[in-house]
Structure 1
Amino acid sequence: MISITNEHIVASFSAKGAELQSIKGTHSETEFLWSGDAQFWGKFSPVLFPIIGALKDETYIFEGKSYKLPRHGFARDMEFNFEEINEHEILFTLTHNEETLKVYPFEFRLNLRYKIHGSSLCCTYEVYNPAEKDLLFSVGGHPAFAAPLNKQGDYTDYYLQFNKDEEITYHHILDNLISEKTSSIKLDKGKLYLKHEMFYEDALVFKNLKSDSISLLNDKNYNGLDFNFKDFPYYGIWAAKDADFVCLEPWCGIADGTHHNQNLLEKEGINVLASNGTWERTWQVTCF
């Protein structure tokens, strides 16, 4: 495990997938991330790249050729190089290689930059295109936060506080793809209380959230977190069946729709980065 720390929090990572695996209070030792219990879901906060969610038939077409990629892409299962910038910041880097080019015919450099300040952790995705042709990609986060925190209280004591929405409309997932079926939930002063059954059919997928901050709070104590995101056009909220966590997932990209033609250039949410171009997005979690 690789760690960065200050007087408020300690954040720890694995080079595999550049995955954040722990955020603890320096003094309280409150763990804010999910435990990674493989009985339910053995990950903590995987990076989603170069796709998000599933492809139709796990296949996409680019320049007349078919390629296969697993759900959420390959970056989460690859070893990143890393560099400790200082005790508060670390940089992970993944670049194309012979194996990635077989399934994803693009040259790329993906950086994950983690930085702590006060009781906040920032995660920045930096994408660079070293090639002469355009780079097509999606990227996003999948951090799982413990609920309840410190094993105090029950799952249903916890709620998500949306900062700008009074009603949320989500897309249903059908066979891992985004369906046209939607459902709406009226919020109580922006609050959505957690229930395990809420995720029995899979994630809630949003295309039109007004909120750019969602807080995980509870009715029993003051522990919680604020999750801030900006310029992520899609969002997912998910938990494994009956597991005590909730994933808050900001996405620049989305799974294929049920009627998608599999053409990568026509994929909803795909980002197109020109030669020698750079692209970045940041989310931030503040713990208390």
Structure 2
Amino acid sequence: MIVSIRNEHLAIDFSTKGAELKSIVGIDSSVNYMWRGDAQFWGKFSPVLFPIVGALKENTYEYQGDKYNLSRHGFARDMEFAYELIGTTEIAFKLRHTEETLKNYPFEFELTLRYRLSGASLQCTYQVVNPSDKTMLFSIGGHPAFAAPLNSEGTYTDYYLQFNNDDEVTFHHIEDNLIADETTTIQLKDKVLPLTHELFYGDALVFKNLKSNHIRLLNTKNYNGLNFHFEGFPYFGIWAAIDADFVCLEPWCGVADGVNHNQQLEDKEGIEKLAAGETWERSWEVCCF
């Protein structure tokens, strides 16, 4: 089911399946800032990654002596969320544990994705509540795919990412969907990373030590672009499907297993630990122009 919010600047569409952001359209310009979801390349738009980010080693983890299986990025992106419209400019999607989720993820949870429009900006807030009497372990992350080019003018290589606090970036390579020890450092002229399709032929670029909390998607042909702001996310991914005209800007609290991980959930890098009865929140925001 498609549901929408809007204001005088932007019109936003979501799917209740996965609480997935599907389009951000400028009211005056008619520019859609989101990827179109062409299944020939990648049929998603902005999945939520929960309760894991990335892949598990052998798609398996152990917790308190038992083994469980979760597919890459977890199950939330494939589940139907309840929703509540808050006026015309805000919407909240909610998901709770079920008997089925408990089979492979033995934690009770309440997950809320709240989207709010303010001017030409859309804020996404992840809220996780632990309703149980034991500590909850989880990871969560965003995966929004932004179009490049944003309209019919220009090509992919006319676009670039500009970081606010990094003169160089070091990313981890991915090996069989897992995080490898091998890294590559890219020097950034004027804090700019030019986009090329070849940049993503080895899968996502996984950053563990970004200094930036603000990345701009810009181009050399026109003034259309966006500012992507994120706080409190220790990991970040940048990805595009092979030869596809989009770029994903992915703030993560959690990361895929390393190639040498022992598969113990409590030892998983970046795992969040939420005490009984506690609430956890993080937000990212995109401003379109």
Answer yes or no: same fold by TM over 0.5: yes
Residue 134, structure 1, aligned to residue 135, structure 2: yes
Whole-angstrom distance in 2 between the partners of 1:162 and 1:4: 29
Q: 1:88-127, CA deviations, whole angstroms, 9 ceiling, x for partnerless residues?
A: 1000000000000001000000000000000000000000
- Equivalent in the alignment of 1:59: 60
Whole-angstrom distance in 2 between the partners of 1:142 and 1:224: 18
Residue pairs, 1:273-288, within 5 angstroms:
273-288=274-289
- Equivalent in the alignment of 2:125: 124
Letter in 2 for 1:85: I
SS at match of 1:149: coil
SS at match of 2:8: coil
Whole-angstrom distance in 2 between the partners of 1:122 and 1:204: 24
SS at match of 2:77: helix
- Equivalent in the alignment of 1:107: 108
Letter in 1 for 2:203: D
1:28 Cα offset (Å): 1.2
Gapped regions of structure 2 (runs ≥ 5): none
Letter in 2 for 1:239: A
- Equivalent in the alignment of 2:147: 146
Deviating 4+ runs (over 2 angstroms):
none
User: With structure 1 as the length reference, what TM-score do the two structures score?
Assistant: 1.00
Q: 1:136-156, CA deviations, whole angstroms, 9 ceiling, x for partnerless residues?
A: 000000000000011210100
User: How many equivalent residue pairs?
Assistant: 288
Percentage of identical aligned residues: 66
Whole-angstrom distance in 2 between the partners of 1:151 and 1:78: 34
Whole-angstrom distance in 2 between the partners of 1:131 and 1:151: 51
Whole-angstrom distance in 1 between the partners of 2:108 and 2:87: 29
Q: 1:254-286, CA deviations, whole angstroms, 9 ceiling, x for partnerless residues?
A: 000000000000000000000000000000000
Residue 74, structure 1, aligned to residue 82, structure 2: no
User: With structure 2 as the length reference, what TM-score do the two structures score?
Assistant: 0.99
- Equivalent in the alignment of 2:209: 208
SS at match of 1:150: coil
Residue 46, structure 1, aligned to residue 50, structure 2: no
Gapped regions of structure 1 (runs ≥ 5): none
Whole-angstrom distance in 1 between the partners of 2:15 and 2:274: 28
Q: 1:216-251, CA deviations, whole angstroms, 9 ceiling, x for partnerless residues?
A: 000011000000001100000000000000000000
SS at match of 1:197: helix
SS at match of 1:111: strand
SS at match of 1:198: helix
Whole-angstrom distance in 1 between the partners of 2:86 and 2:68: 36
CA RMSD of aligned residues (A): 0.4
- Equivalent in the alignment of 2:158: 157
- Equivalent in the alignment of 1:264: 265
1:86 Cα offset (Å): 1.1
- Equivalent in the alignment of 1:219: 220
Letter in 1 for 2:157: T
Letter in 1 for 2:97: H
Whole-angstrom distance in 2 between the partners of 1:198 and 1:151: 22
